Amino acid sequence: MMNAARRAVEYAAQALGFSAIGVAPADAPQGEHLQSWLAEGQHAGMEWMLRHLPARLNPELVLKGVKSVIILTYEYSREDSRCAPGNIARYAQGDDYHKLLAGKLADLDETLSFYGGTQRCFTDSGPVSERFFAARAGLGWIGRNGLLIRPKGGSYCFLASILTTLELPYDTPMPNRCGNCYRCEQACPTAALRNGSCDARLCLSYWTIEAKEEMPNNIRAAQGERIYGCDACQQACPWNHQRPGAPRPTIDPHLLMPAPLSKLSPQALSELKPEEFEQLFTGSPIRRIGVPHLRANVLPLANNNE
């Protein structure tokens, strides 16, 4: 019965555009890495991570009777689609992935319910250690940049999770294959990466997206052309480089950058009125930072390009 449920959810996931699926036991021990990271204050101003720590470490607090954690990958573009100056992180160039994947996860929930399961589904939006479970489910390993790295797909993917009361067949973790490579650490503009984790207090993604306070001068000096997020560690990772002859991943058109955003200059972005901002970024993950934060991110670049 459980093998049939797994086959059914695998088939449905493939039909919905997910690139891979893995299953891990919900009670897999997560170790002390996350607790140490939080204790050292590396989460910066993301206090919700502290509040949700018990649930992250114990999925039973999220779904009573949970037995398995299903992790799925969904590809996004590896290309920078901006024609004008100013970089936007690859994952944020198109529609908001939370909304895009929510409907697909609802379909998978329905599939598992047919086999008697009760589920809770998340896409980077709930108290689930998705990267930990992705590695535990054999989808890849956690690289020195703290991201899931896959041998045939690198790190350019979204992770979605399904907690289920079904005890599905589990997958086997794979070994870490970073070896002696430190290119991600060396490429980080602010030296935020060390020991396989990212210190958000130094991370440009944190400061251009999550931070509520003003960006410190030492971080601003390393910002370069980054408007929203930072892909420096991913761009440096050899596993993200296209192998000769390897098939290119299929990218959902909803995740591609619309032409107006691609062509809009830093100066024009800095001068957006609230209603223009809403029109341009409705349905985009960039909308969440609002006009003042976007303007603060883009003004140094706009001034440099005058």
Q: Which tokens is 220 given?
A: 């601003």
Instruction: Identify whether 124 is a catalytic site residue.
Output: yes
Catalytic residue among 109, 124, 171, 252: 124
3-state secondary structure 147-169: CEEECCCECCEEEEEEEECCCCC
Neighbouring-strand partners of residue 71: 22, 161
Sheet hosting strand 68-75, strand order edge to edge: 20-25, 68-75, 157-164, 119-122
Exposure of 28 by Cβ count < 10 A (0-12 exposed, 13-18 middle, 19+ buried)?
middle
SS (H, E, C) 192-208: CEECCEECCCCCHHHHH
Query: Residue 127 has what DSSP assignment?
Result: S
Which residues are the active-site residues? 124
